[in-house]
A and B are shown apart, each in its own frame.
Chain A
Amino acid sequence: MKKTFKIEDLDCPNCAAKLEKAIGSIEGVTRAGVSFIAQKMIIEAEEKDMESIVKQIPAVAKKTIPECRVII
Chain B
Amino acid sequence: MSKKQKKLLYRIIISLILFAGIIISEKIFAPQGYNLSVLYLVPYFVAGYDVLLGCFRNIKNGKFFDEEFLMTVATVGALIIGEYPESVFVMVFYQTGELFQNIAVGKSRRSISGLMSLMPDEATVIRNGEEETVFPEEIEKGETVIVRPGEKIPVDGIILEGSSSLDMRALTGESVPFEAEKGNEVKAGSINLTGILKITVIKEYADSTAAKILELVENSTLNKAKTERFLTRFSRYYTPAVVISALLLAVIPSVITGDWKDWVYRALIFLVVSCPCALVISVPLSFFGGIGGASKKGILIKGANFLEALGNARTFVFDKTGTLTTGEFSVIGVYPSKDSSEDELLSLAASSEYYSLHPIGKSIAAAVNNVTVPDSVKEHSGFGVEAQTTHGVILSGNRQFMKNNGIASPDDISGTVVYVALDGVYKGCIRLGDTLKRDVKTALTKLKQEGIRSTVMLTGDNDVAAREAAEKLGISDYKASLLPDGKAEYVKSLTEKKAKNEALVFVGDGINDAPVLALSDVGIAMGGVGSDAAIEAADIVIMDDNIGKCVTAVKIAKKTKRIVRQNVIFALGIKFAVLIFAFFGLTNMWIGVLADVGVAVIAILNAMRTMKIK
Contact = CB atoms under 8 A, between A and B. Distances in A.
Contact of B221 (A11, A34, A64, A67): A34
Interface string A8-19: 010111100110
Contact of B288 (A34, A37, A40): A37
Given A37-B112, A66-B57, A17 B232 contact: yes
B109 interface: yes
Given A13-B285, A33-B222, A63 B109 contact: no
Contacts of A39: 109, 113
Contacts of A31: 222
Interface in A14-32: 14, 17-18, 31
A2 B281 CA distance: 26
Interface residues on B, range: 20 to 34
Given A17-B232, A17-B280, A35 B105 contact: no
B32 interface: no
B480 interface: no
Contacts of B57: 66
Nearest to A36: B109
A13 B222 contact: no
A16 B221 CA distance: 11
A42 B218 contact: yes
Given A14-B277, A14-B280, A42 B285 contact: no
Interface of A, secondary structure class, is: mixed
B4 interface: yes
Contacts of B4: 9, 11, 67
Interface string B30-60: 0000000000000000000000000001000
A13 B221 contact: no
B568 to A, nearest CB: 15
B105 A12 contact: yes
A64 B280 contact: no
B292 interface: yes
A52 B396 CA distance: 71
Interface string B450-487: 00000000000000000000000000000000000000
B64 to A, nearest CB: 13
B264 to A, nearest CB: 28
Contacts of A38: 113, 116, 217-218, 221
B102 interface: yes
A4 interface: yes
Interface residues on A, range: 20 to 34
B219 A42 contact: yes
Nearest to B111: A37
Contacts of B102: 11-12
Contacts of A11: 4, 102, 105-106
Given A12-B102, A12-B105, A4 B218 contact: yes
B216 to A, nearest CB: 12
B221 A42 contact: yes
Nearest to B53: A66
B279 to A, nearest CB: 10
A37 B219 CA distance: 12
Interface in B1-43: 4
Nearest to A9: B4
Contacts of B257: none
B232 A37 contact: no
B322 interface: no
8 contacts: A11-B105, A14-B277, A14-B280, A34-B221, A37-B112, A37-B288, A40-B221, A42-B222
Interface of A: 2, 4, 9, 11-14, 17-18, 31, 33-40, 42, 44, 63-64, 66-67
6 tightest A-B CB contacts, nearest first = A33-B221, A35-B221, A33-B222, A13-B281, A37-B288, A38-B218
